[in-house]
Structure 1
Amino acid sequence: MELIMQPWPWYVSGPLIVLVMALLILMGKRFGMSTNLETMCSISGAGRFVDYFKTDVKSKIWSLMVVLGVVFGGFLGANLLSENRGVAISESSVTTLNELGFSSAGKAYLPSELFSLESLSNPFTWVILLVAGFLVGFGARYAGGCTSGHAISGLSNLQLPSLVAVLGFFVGGLVMIHLLFPLIF
């Protein structure tokens, strides 16, 4: 149990990702999370209104199981398989985030200033979350997939569009953190 309770080093988790990707490629499947939003819209009946959502849902059930596994695994890992160690980020990042008003920096994975029930009474929080959700959804559709799909599956298949998308994700993340984040907060 001690082995499971500690963070796994890259030389253990990396080969596990390779193993999963090899199995998916051999089975003719592609890994990604944003496609599941399309599948959920199809399941909920969006195909009656928009032809784009008329798809074969049965062939995508395995991907929905991956999402359930991620949610269940995240819950299990956060609540049962980890000691409350806090988040391992640099002290300079903690200091900068504290200066921007995020007192939960270094203590929680999601800042309670944005993701707590109390914060939902602030209209600014709603605007930030709605705009961010729209931009992430639009970006995933525009790029033809999400960060996990391009970075893990696309690069594993040596796809040039995935390399371009991953470079765009990184540049966008750097611009967000270093230029936009301080302006917003």
Structure 2
Amino acid sequence: MELIKEPWPWYVSGPCIAITMFLLLYFGRTFGMSSNLRTMCAIGGAGKYSEFFRFDWKSHRWNLIVVLGAVTGGFIAHFFLSNPIDMNLSAETVKDLNELGFKNAGNSLLPPELFAWENVLTLKGITILIVGGFLVGFGTRYAGGCTSGHAITGLSSLQLPSLVAVIGFFIGGLIMIHLIFPILF
């Protein structure tokens, strides 16, 4: 008998996120993936080269559990909870993606036109990764946190700067997908 694998419904996953946020706020912690990257860079010795990484990373070791949980959760979700059926995209979305060069739109979560090694290891692919990585790193530092930190921790603790940052993230995403993405692909 094959197990039917469906996404968790909102009434299960939503309260799980809310309980996690309540516990983090209760214990005086904040959530965000960029702080985990900062901790890993500090452990690796980046403090020798930048003041930003000179801090007591040992007091932030708990952040590394978040990284471990994200990697473990991604593994479990992919190999044990994923539903292998095609995604149900609208005909208009499939048509738009076909015009951009995506041949089998909706057949996989990660289209090979973007994520296959032969496409990543091209001049265009490497350039996009380097420029994108720089922009994400700069934006995260400039905004004082990443999308998950602002959208989950910042908004749940009613921080106005996080609301402004999240609005900026959405505007940036709209500009990217409607103006820049068609030029790149």
The amino acid of 2:106's aligned partner reads G
- TM-score normalised over the length of structure 1: 0.92
Match of 1:29 in 2: 29
The separation in 2 between residues aligned to 1:65 and 1:86, in whole angstroms, is: 33
Where does the alignment leave 5 or more consecutive residues of structure 1 unmatched? none
Match of 1:105 in 2: 105
Between the aligned residues of both structures, percent identity stands at: 58
The separation in 1 between residues aligned to 2:131 and 2:104, in whole angstroms, is: 22
SS at the partner of 1:34? Answer: helix
The amino acid of 2:148's aligned partner reads S
Q: Does the 8 A contact of 1:104 with 1:113 survive in 2?
A: no
Match of 2:179 in 1: 179
Match of 2:161 in 1: 161
The separation in 1 between residues aligned to 2:64 and 2:160, in whole angstroms, is: 27
What do residues 42-96 of structure 1 show as CA deviations (whole Å, max 9, x unaligned)? Answer: 0111112222211111121111111111111111111122230234543322221
The amino acid of 1:43's aligned partner reads I
Alignment of 1:20-169 (within 5 A): 20-169=20-169
In the TM superposition, what is the alpha-carbon distance from 1:114 to its structure 2 partner? 2.1
In the TM superposition, what is the alpha-carbon distance from 1:124 to its structure 2 partner? 0.8
The separation in 2 between residues aligned to 1:29 and 1:52, in whole angstroms, is: 19
In the TM superposition, what is the alpha-carbon distance from 1:104 to its structure 2 partner? 4.3
In the TM superposition, what is the alpha-carbon distance from 1:35 to its structure 2 partner? 1.1
The separation in 1 between residues aligned to 2:75 and 2:98, in whole angstroms, is: 27
The separation in 1 between residues aligned to 2:175 and 2:181, in whole angstroms, is: 9
SS at the partner of 2:72? Answer: helix
- TM-score normalised over the length of structure 2: 0.92
SS at the partner of 2:70? Answer: helix
Q: Does the 8 A contact of 1:104 with 1:112 survive in 2?
A: no
The separation in 2 between residues aligned to 1:161 and 1:2, in whole angstroms, is: 44
Pair 1:73–1:86, CA change in 2 (3 A): farther
The separation in 2 between residues aligned to 1:37 and 1:89, in whole angstroms, is: 34
The amino acid of 1:29's aligned partner reads R
CA RMSD after TM alignment: 1.7
The separation in 1 between residues aligned to 2:87 and 2:27, in whole angstroms, is: 36
Pair 1:11–1:91, CA change in 2 (3 A): farther
